[in-house]
Amino acid sequence: MKKFIYKSYDELPLFLNAETISELLGISSTTVYELMHTKDFPVLKLGNRMVVSKERFKEWVDKNSGGNP
């Protein structure tokens, strides 16, 4: 298993891929890909690649976890 290398939000890359989101949320990559295909998830499609900006990801987490709007 790959060791998680990020210790703070500031260390995250500008764009998050499915593997990184999987590690952050503690869910499978299959579940992340399903999430990335939902209407409200802030995915950016670059050809066949799907990524999420860390800012939009944080906003999505806050909105969906009862955090700050």
Tens digits of residue pLDDT in 27-55: 999 999 999 999 999 999 999 999 999 99
Residues in CB range of 69: below 8 A, 6 or more apart: 62, 63
* pLDDT tens-digit map of 2-17: 667 888 889 999 999 9
Fold of 13-64: Molybdopterin biosynthesis moea protein, domain 2 (3.90.105)
Q: Does pLDDT of 1 surpass 70? A: no
- Domains of the chain, by residue range, sit at 13-64
